[in-house]
Chains A and B, each alone.
Chain A
Amino acid sequence: MTLVETPLMHTLSRALDLTSVRQGLVSQNVANIDTPGYKARDIDYRQELQRAMADDESLQPAPVAREVPGLVERPDGNNVSLDRESLLMAQNQLAFQVDVQLLRAEFNRLQQAINGGNGQ
């Protein structure tokens, strides 16, 4: 952590990273909706965020994507669920938006502190 990076910023940047990784997996699942034998994959968001918070900066392991359990498989061996992926896509987008807004607010607070509380 540096002088201007607050703990909240640290958490939020990790959360943003994970959200974009997750969006990548959702895109991949959607892209392979017609690929025979393809299995939907996802990350365990909560677990990955805890891991990212616990580890130190220097060695960040890549998030682990696993096959999603409990999905119904089509006769061609593909188990991508359209509803699940669309919902996750919308949810991810909103989560990203929330994180960005929180990050902006935190920067604004920092700016305010620098200015000694005299507005912007």
Chain B
Amino acid sequence: MNLFGLFQISGSALTAERVRAEVATSNLANSETTRTPEGGPYRRRMVVFNSRPASSFRLLLAGSLNNGSLQEAGGVRVSQVVDDPTPALRRYEPGHPDADASGYVDYPAISPVQEMVDLMGAQRAYELNASAVQAAKQMIQQSLQILK
């Protein structure tokens, strides 16, 4: 592990948390959307986080020497963005252009409170990882001091 590897780890988390915030924002923006290209109302989306094992040759070699298990640090990635299977909310609005024969409109099952909490969680996690980047930066600057 060299110190620059820390940037990749924390950077992967920054990317993942931003995707999470983007998805939450998109859910909020589309909380009243009744038409989508796929047809039907907008469906709430969720991110799936996966820890990512380290994969450089040196690490794999070190891992195979240590009883075949990988020992080095990896990062995180968004493995997929999935649709929420919760059925659409039905509201009685006979005048709405997307109302069905009985006068009901399908709205996305999105709770603004839930999305805001998710957004705040993503923001805090982003901050935490940004301070990890700061720590790594300071350590690299410190090691330059040896040369002086």
Q: Show the binding face of A for B, using Cβ within 8 Å.
A: 16, 20-21, 23-28, 30-36, 38, 41, 61-65, 82, 86, 89-90, 92-93, 96-97, 100-101, 103-104, 107
Is B103 part of the binding interface, using a Cβ–Cβ cutoff of 8 Å? Answer: no
Q: Show the binding face of B for A, using Cβ within 8 Å.
A: 1-3, 5-6, 9-10, 12-13, 16-17, 20, 49-51, 62-63, 65-66, 71-76, 121, 125, 128-129, 131-132, 135-136, 138-139, 142-143, 145-146, 148
The answer to whether B66 touches A31, judged by C-beta atoms less than 8 angstroms apart, is no
CA distance A41 to B13 in the complex (A): 17
CA distance A57 to B66 in the complex (A): 18
Closest to A59 in B: B65
- New A-B contacts (20) at CB < 8 Å, excluding given A32-B51, A34-B76, A64-B71: A20-B2, A20-B139, A21-B73, A24-B6, A28-B74, A31-B76, A31-B132, A32-B13, A33-B13, A33-B125, A34-B20, A36-B49, A38-B51, A62-B62, A62-B72, A86-B131, A89-B135, A96-B139, A97-B142, A104-B145
B contact patch SS: helix
The answer to whether A35 touches B49, judged by C-beta atoms less than 8 angstroms apart, is yes
Most buried by B among A38, A62, A63, A103: A62
Task: Give chain B residues whose Cβ lies under 8 Å from the Cβ of A27.
Answer: 6, 9-10, 73, 132, 136
Total A-B residue pairs with C-beta atoms closer than 8 Å?
107
Closest to B71 in A: A65
Closest to A96 in B: B139
The answer to whether A96 touches B142, judged by C-beta atoms less than 8 angstroms apart, is yes
For B71, give its contact among A63, A96, A101 (CB under 8 Å): A63
